[in-house]
Amino acid sequence: MAQPLISPSILSADFARLGEEVRAIDEAGADWVHVDVMDGHFVPNITIGPAVVKALRRHTEKPFDVHLMISPVDLYLEEFAEAGADIITVHPEAGPHVHRTVQAIKGLGKKAGISLNPATPAKMLDYLIDEIDLVLVMSVNPGFGGQSFISSQLRKIEAVRKMIEKSGRDIHLEVDGGVNAETARLCVDAGADVLVAGSATFKGGPDRYAANIAALKGR
């Protein structure tokens, strides 16, 4: 399979040692660092905020791929941008004017992503595809790591890949949720070029990170 970029979700890292964990995945071959931001309102879990993103920034130069599962979202874009996010991904359901949210992210000089929940159709991208840098297909309902991959999302990945090709733009297609060495292959075959993996990266502890990332890349 083509080799995808791997963006380990630090949701599955040891939160008591987050800086070390970020350095360890960087050294183990992670391409990006995926930061899951949850507010206990848009999704039923609470994780981390911009202060933690800022504190982690000095531990790696790899791009910070920040997935905001918060509502309202517009209020916090600037803080995450200043904290060191490189890519900021939002859900269309997180506010009334998602096009404006994308413009705000771009206005902050950051790459903008749109995340599609399992029940959100690819069609949602029709009037956004010309503005964005990344599409994140959620292959679990957002909120928690360690869930099983929802295989109906493979059709959506294929549909989004076609939309990206038609747009002629350079847009990443990222998949998040239940990604392991086996589902990684299915996602890449369907058209994904970036894979988020929490459990499958961090399982077995730091000594395993390099092998886990290599397996996700299909090596």
User: Binding site: what residues are annotated?
Assistant: 9, 34, 36, 67, 143-146, 176-178, 198-199
Selected catalytic residue, list 31, 36, 39, 133: 36
145 closest CA partner among 187, 182, 177, 116: 177
Q: Establish if 178 lies at the interface with ligand 5RP (CB under 6 A).
A: yes
Rounded Cα distance between 78 and 82, Å, is: 6
Q: Establish if 186 lies at the interface with ligand 5RP (CB under 6 A).
A: no
Q: Establish if 174 lies at the interface with ligand 5RP (CB under 6 A).
A: no
Active-site residue, 74 included: no
Single-letter code of the amino acid located at 170:
D
CA 85 to chain CA mean position, Å? 12
Q: What are phi and psi of 139, to 5 degrees?
A: -105, 15
Q: Establish if 63 lies at the interface with ligand 5RP (CB under 6 A).
A: no
47 Cβ partners below 8 Å, 6+ apart?
Answer: 11, 36, 37, 38
- The contact pattern for ligand 5RP, residues 109-148, with x = CB under 6 A and - = no contact, is -------------------------------x-xxxxxx-
Query: Contact positions toward ligand 5RP, by CB under 6 A?
Result: 9, 11-12, 34, 36, 67, 140, 142-147, 176-179, 196-200
